[in-house]
Amino acid sequence: MAGQIDILVVEDTPSDQRLLQEALLACNSRLRIHIVGSGTEAIEYLFKNRKPPPRLVLLDLHLPGKSGKQVLSEIKSAPSMAAIPVLMFSTSCAADDISSCYELGANAYLTKPSVLEDYYTAIKIIQDFWFKVAQLPTGTN
């Protein structure tokens, strides 16, 4: 469908997958959300038969297969993917995790809210900034 915005959610917890999908669609019905449950699936999705790339990646830190940091590193190391905004969305608020993700090229690091209302607010802020305010390179949806 024309005008849709592809977004990749990399999250291994089914309840968080559902919550993210619900919150994202509540903010923007034009989103086409692709959900994968492991770091390995994320790399396969991004690098094999995926044209055009997603406009945004929401990436959990702790994943089966490849970790969120490994996925982030691979995305930011690939010239064809490096411009895609990658937002780390994790329960970890450890300073080492935050620092290392920024060193690997994360565009933002957000700690998952524990209160449902705050979760929706965080997703609304993400959607407003990345799809309404930020200027993204051409070639993305």
66-123 pLDDT, tens digit per residue, is 999 999 999 999 998 999 999 999 999 999 999 999 999 999 999 988 888 888 899 8
For residue 138, is it within any domain? no
What's the structural domain count of the chain?
A: 1
Domain extent for 28? 5-128
Q: Which residue has the tokens 């690997």?
A: 104
Looking at per-residue confidence, does 4 or 79 come out higher? 79
Compute φ and ψ for 59, nearest 5 degrees: -125, 120
**pLDDT value, residue 140:** 44
For residue 109, is it within any domain? yes
For residue 38, is it within any domain? yes
Q: How many Å apart are CA 129 and CA 70, to the nearest integer? A: 26
| Lowest mean pLDDT segment, chosen from 4-8, 32-36, 39-43 | 4-8
For residue 55, is it within any domain? yes
Number of Cβ within a 10 Å radius of residue 141: 17
- Exposed e or buried b per residue across 73-106, where buried means at least 16 C-beta atoms within 10 angstroms of its C-beta: bbbbeeeebeebbbbbbbebeeeebbebbeebeb
Residues 6 or more apart in contact with residue 35 via CB below 8 angstroms: 8, 9, 10, 11, 17, 20, 21
**Model's pTM, two decimal places?**
0.90
For residue 133, is it within any domain? no
Is 11 strand, coil or helix? coil
CATH number at residue 51: 3.40.50.2300
For residue 141, is it within any domain? no
Q: How many Å apart are CA 63 and CA 61, to the nearest integer? A: 6
For residue 137, is it within any domain? no
Closest CA to 130 of 33, 57, 75, 38: 57
Closest CA to 136 of 61, 57, 77, 60: 57
For residue 135, is it within any domain? no
